[in-house]
Amino acid sequence: MFEKYSDHARSVLSRARQEAQNFRHDHIGTEHLLLGLIEVKVGFAAEVLRHQKVDLASAKQQINTMVRHKSGPEDGDYISLPRTKHAQNALNDAINEARALKHNVIGSEHILLGLLYENEGTGAQVIRNLGLNIDEVRKDVLHFISLGKEAVIGQDD
């Protein structure tokens, strides 16, 4: 299979794992993927989230309210965390989106779209609370892809 992730997408997945560790969770859920997308400040997804005015502090606050920290060990084995069904569905949707766009690499933008397609899970609920709309986000993704550039958040356009 072609499921090759871009550097930015791998950074998102790594950051999601770190967020799961911060919460002392024994899994990676959609909420962790969302935080990973927000915290990685480069790539098309970062540009889209900036354009959509998604705020990390607001998203984290909502997630902290909705998700309990577990009492797992701080130094547990967080390298090989399983994904929840909803997180796996979101990543499968990311693969499908990359294929639909005829891209041979899965980027952070595809993960963002995959997360938006997943209607269940904490990440989906936070996305709705943040007011993100799948059609508007997809339009932004396609716009930034058509520009052929990836920006760094805070960088002058």
Domains in the chain with CATH codes: 7-147 (1.10.1780.10)
DSSP state of 152: B
Express each pLDDT in 77-103 by its tens digit: 556 789 999 999 999 999 999 999 888
Specify whether the CB–CB gap between 49 and 37 falls below 8 A. Answer: yes
The answer for residues whose C-beta is within 8 angstroms of residue 39's C-beta and 6 or more apart is 15, 19, 56
Closest CA to 3 of 82, 112, 150, 104: 104
**18-50 residue pLDDT tens:** 999 888 888 899 999 999 998 898 888 888 888
Cβ pair 37, 12 in contact under 8 A:
yes
DSSP alpha helix (H) spans, the chain: 7-22, 30-39, 44-51, 56-66, 85-100, 108-117, 122-130, 134-147
Whether the predicted pLDDT of 155 surpasses 50: no
- Tell me: the pLDDT tens digits for 110-144? 999 999 888 888 888 888 888 888 788 888 888 88
pTM of the model: 0.85
Q: What is the DSSP letter of 154?
A: T
- What is the rounded distance in angstroms from the CA atom of residue 84 to the CA atom of residue 69? 16
Strands, E assignment, 72-112: none
Side chain identity, residue 117? Y
| Cβ pair 96, 87 in contact under 8 A | no
Position 107 confidence tier, pLDDT thresholds 50, 70, 90: very high
Euclidean distance between CA atoms 22 and 54, whole angstroms: 21
For 131, other C-beta atoms within 10 Å of its C-beta total: 10
**Within a 10 A sphere around the Cβ of 3, how many other Cβ atoms?**
13
72 or 145, which is more confident? 145
